[in-house]
């Protein structure tokens, strides 16, 4: 229970990796605040005692309302996990403006929106932890994912700059780059694509949301006092 009483915000916690991260931090004693857009799935979190606020990370007004709600309820924010993300794959030649903008707006501008809105209370507290979820694709690229790779590489650069900017206030900013994790996002792949990916993973198996949650938990806990600005891969050895 080493997160006891910590006020933790996890974005995109209605499903997949975000849900696993939120569950882990709650099990460790955190006071959980979760977001997403699906009210039905947010209700399930309310039943668990979490503060669940519908907020689209691309919409600054909704993000500001979210942060106001947290500050009214708890008066502080200790940990932010930027996990909300989408894919909209396609070859560059055929990629529409909408496909590009949706992915950049959610995966990169969403991280900017949430960080800008939450950094002020953290600066005042002179303490805080931020973990941004990137992807191995942001490091090695992938055909058909120029928009996604750009957004996830952007998250890594953004996080390094922010880590330097806020280090003097004892705010640690890190990135977790998952490989192939079993969630709804990866269920869209064909069996052939899945087998091809498995061949590239030295551990020979896909990851689970809980595997990513363990890394995030370490980074935001008191166990981590001296790691900031880093990108930790959680990918079964996919990128070595
Ligand atoms: P899922 O599609 O299963 O879940 C995505 C989550 O993001 C949902 O909770 C969704 O909530 C939320 N979300 C999407 N758009 C928005 C938005 N505009 N505002 C608020 N919430 C939003 O994805 P995963 O769990 O697989 O992925 C989670 C993160 O991990 C993403 O950033 C993804 O890029 C990254 N990742 C995933 C990998 C994988 O193999 N699965 C590999 C590498 C990285 P709702 O629908 O309720 O809005």
* Ligand 1 interacting residues, C-beta cut-off 6 A: 11-18, 35-38, 41, 56-58, 83-86, 106, 133, 135, 178, 180-181, 183-186
40 three-state secondary structure: helix
Total number of domains in the chain:
1
Which residues have a Cβ under 8 Å from the Cβ of 154 and sit 6 or more positions away? 104, 107, 108, 138
How confident is the model over 213-231, as a mean pLDDT? 98
Residue 63 included in any domain:
yes
Residue 239 included in any domain:
no
Residue 175 included in any domain:
yes
Residue 91 included in any domain:
yes
Residue 164 has pLDDT above 90, yes or no: yes
How far is Cα 7 from Cα 193, in angstroms, rounded to an integer?
Answer: 39
Q: Which of 32-41, 91-100, 181-190, 195-204 has the least mean pLDDT? A: 181-190
Q: Which of 112, 148, 158, 180 is catalytic?
A: 148
More confident residue, 154 or 197: 154
Domain containing 205 equals: 7-232
Task: Give me 85's structure tokens.
Answer: 């993300």
| Domain CATH for 210 | 3.40.50.720
Is 148 marked active-site?
A: yes
Q: Which residue has the tokens 């809105």?
A: 117
Nearest-CA residue for atom 10 of ligand 1: 12
Pure H helices in 183-234: 184-187, 191-200, 209-220
pTM above 0.85, yes or no: yes
Note the pLDDT of residue 188: 83
Residue 135 included in any domain:
yes
> In ligand 1, which atom is closest to the CA atom of 206?
40
Residue 237 included in any domain:
no
What is the helix (H) or strand (E) element at residue 173, kind and residue range?
strand 171-178
């Amino acid at each position: 229970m080493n997160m006891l009483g910590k006020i933790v915000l996890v974005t995109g916690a209605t499903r997949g990796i975000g849900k696993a991260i939120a569950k882990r931090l709650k099990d460790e004693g955190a006071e959980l605040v979760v977001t997403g857009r699906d009210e039905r799935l947010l209700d399930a979190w309310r039943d668990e005692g979490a503060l669940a606020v519908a907020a689209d990370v691309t919409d600054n007004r909704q993000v500001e309302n979210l942060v106001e709600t947290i500050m009214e309820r708890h008066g502080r924010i200790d940990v932010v996990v930027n996990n909300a993300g989408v894919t909209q794959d396609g070859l560059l030649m055929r990629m529409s403006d909408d496909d590009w903008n949706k992915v950049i707006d959610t995966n990169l501008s969403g991280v900017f929106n949430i960080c800008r809105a939450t950094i002020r209370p953290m600066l005042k507290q002179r303490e805080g932890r931020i973990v941004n979820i990137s992807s191995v694709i942001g490091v090695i690229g992938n055909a058909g994912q120029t928009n996604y790779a750009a957004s996830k590489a952007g998250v890594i650069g953004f996080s390094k700059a922010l880590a330097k900017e806020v280090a003097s206030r004892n705010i640690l900013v890190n990135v977790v780059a998952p490989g192939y994790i079993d969630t709804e996002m990866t269920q869209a792949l064909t069996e052939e694509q899945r087998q091809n990916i498995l061949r590239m993973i030295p551990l020979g198996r896909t990851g689970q949301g809980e595997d990513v949650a363990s890394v995030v938990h370490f980074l935001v806990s008191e166990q981590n006092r001296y790691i900031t600005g880093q990108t930790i891969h959680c990918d079964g050895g996919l990128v070595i």
